[in-house]
A and B are shown apart, each in its own frame.
Chain A
């Protein structure tokens, strides 16, 4: 929202000039409370945040996890003896 709205004293009633009017109404007997619920809540959400935007975060997250896993394993290896050095002991 633009800062001009309030700083110029705009409030409901003088926000902007509108020509013509479109009106939409739904009769009570036409209403279905759960119409589109599963589509909006699950399918659309999945599409919006995962299907269409996976390249923003999924590859980076996988890369971060692989780095995390590598670091942990390297740290464990650095804190113990190298078994190969003792392979000939018996």
Chain B
């Protein structure tokens, strides 16, 4: 009884009676939307797993079977496929919101958030491979081969992941198991992310007048999460009308190890990283840059600065960062041809330049107000 009371008080203090700022706008709904999409993806994915077979000769056929023969199988697949894009849309909105409001001041929240981001990227990549279409297969070949740049252990790791000497059915089984198990780990980290966040409360660009001017989290902000239903309705309508607009035409061709697609591109949410990878001619440096495009943001959590914020300058830089990321994403799906080969390194440089400039300003602004 005591334990139950303590747990109840813990949850109550974080979800019901948490003193919250009055300035939280709809931008704070992105996080709750992501939680909803995660649960949605786990549910739709579990149902799809009933009929999917991770065998190299049958995987593609079972996907078609799900689409054509299973009752409402097509709905689950379309929702699962587009749900991944929905997740990344809100993930990027969530990250940009975090940059706008300098949410990296909450170190534990920021660190756990970036970890979730990396895991979700892995999850999305492995899901992409499971379809076992042309783009799936060759994306797997390209991405897993990047691990070979790891000194000493690289080739061994690649062989281990492949479970052979190339991307085969064994690789498919490997990815299927991980694709199914990883979301549960992500769920746990998301829970930690929430606990860290609600221990301190959200950051905001408006400083309220001290501690006494607060509202309860429960009716105000829990109720506000209901606004997400508007996005859900939009998602359902767009998924049913444009089911494969965000996909690639090569995803309808079964994997053929003897013939690669004319142009291999990842999903839209990886294009900026892909552009950075291709912008650097050296393989090792390219992989390092690819990793650093995400790992850079871990460094923001190493700075001890809570109160000194140059909000307008930060806003300008974040907008520039968003625009350069968007251009990088576009460059990532362009062919390796004349003006794009110049623009890719240029915008990769701008991307890293802006990220480190934000970090530098965040470090320096503390000294300005000391």
Bound form: Cα–Cα A6–B335 in Å: 52
Stretch at the interface among B137-145, B202-210, B294-302: B202-210
Interface residues of B in 187-236 (CB under 8 A from A): 199-204, 208, 210-212, 214, 216
| Contact, CB under 8 Å: A78 / B339 | yes
**Known contacts A16-B210, A71-B343, A74-B339; A57 and B201 CB within 8 A of each other:** no
> Hey, which chain B residues are within 8 Å of A67, CB to CB?
327, 343
Main SS at interface, chain A:
helix
> Hey, which chain A residues are within 8 Å of B18, CB to CB?
6
| Contact, CB under 8 Å: B211 / A15 | yes
| A-contact bits for B84-108, CB 8 A (1 contact / 0 none) | 0000000000000000000000100
Stretch at the interface among B152-160, B254-262, B314-322, B358-366: B314-322
| Contact, CB under 8 Å: A1 / B330 | no
| Contact, CB under 8 Å: A5 / B339 | no
Bound form: Cα–Cα A59–B339 in Å: 22
Contact of B338 among A2, A68, A75 (CB under 8 A): A75
| Contact, CB under 8 Å: A60 / B212 | no
Query: Is A79 interfacial (CB-CB < 8 Å)?
Result: yes
Nearest residue (CB) in B for A78 is B338
| Contact, CB under 8 Å: A11 / B17 | yes
| A-contact bits for B3-18, CB 8 A (1 contact / 0 none) | 0000000000100011
CB of A13 to closest CB in B, whole Å: 10
**Known contacts A1-B204, A12-B19; A18 and B339 CB within 8 A of each other:** no
> Hey, which chain B residues are within 8 Å of A5, CB to CB?
19, 200-201, 211
Bound form: Cα–Cα A2–B335 in Å: 48
Interface size in chain B (residues, C-beta < 8 A): 36
| Contact, CB under 8 Å: A57 / B338 | no
> Hey, which chain A residues are within 8 Å of B327, CB to CB?
64, 67-68
| Contact, CB under 8 Å: B337 / A75 | yes
| B-contact bits for A60-90, CB 8 A (1 contact / 0 none) | 1100100110110011001100000000000
| Contact, CB under 8 Å: A18 / B337 | no
Nearest residue (CB) in B for A8 is B211
Interface residues of A in 1-31 (CB under 8 A from B): 1-7, 10-12, 15-18
> Hey, which chain B residues are within 8 Å of A60, CB to CB?
319-320, 323
**Known contacts A56-B316, A60-B320; A12 and B214 CB within 8 A of each other:** yes
| Contact, CB under 8 Å: B203 / A1 | yes
> Hey, which chain B residues are within 8 Å of A10, CB to CB?
19, 211
CB of A81 to closest CB in B, whole Å: 14
CB of B278 to closest CB in A, whole Å: 15
Bound form: Cα–Cα A57–B199 in Å: 34
Query: Is B326 interfacial (CB-CB < 8 Å)?
Result: yes
> Hey, which chain B residues are within 8 Å of A15, CB to CB?
19, 211-212, 214
| Contact, CB under 8 Å: B337 / A11 | no
CB of A21 to closest CB in B, whole Å: 11
| Contact, CB under 8 Å: A6 / B201 | yes
Bound form: Cα–Cα A78–B339 in Å: 9
Bound form: Cα–Cα A17–B211 in Å: 9
> Hey, which chain A residues are within 8 Å of B203, CB to CB?
1
CB of B323 to closest CB in A, whole Å: 5
> Hey, which chain B residues are within 8 Å of A18, CB to CB?
212
Bound form: Cα–Cα A1–B201 in Å: 6
CB of A83 to closest CB in B, whole Å: 18
| Contact, CB under 8 Å: B19 / A64 | no
Nearest residue (CB) in B for A71 is B339
Bound form: Cα–Cα A67–B315 in Å: 22
Bound form: Cα–Cα A61–B319 in Å: 9
| Contact, CB under 8 Å: B17 / A12 | yes
**A residues in contact (CB < 8 Å) with B:** 1-7, 10-12, 15-18, 53, 56-57, 60-61, 64, 67-68, 70-71, 74-75, 78-79
8 tightest CB-CB pairs across the interface, nearest first? A16-B212, A1-B201, A78-B338, A16-B211, A15-B211, A74-B339, A3-B200, A57-B319
15 residue pairs of the A-B complex, CB under 8 angstroms, read A1-B19, A1-B202, A1-B203, A3-B201, A10-B211, A16-B210, A17-B212, A18-B212, A53-B315, A56-B315, A56-B316, A68-B327, A74-B338, A74-B339, A75-B338
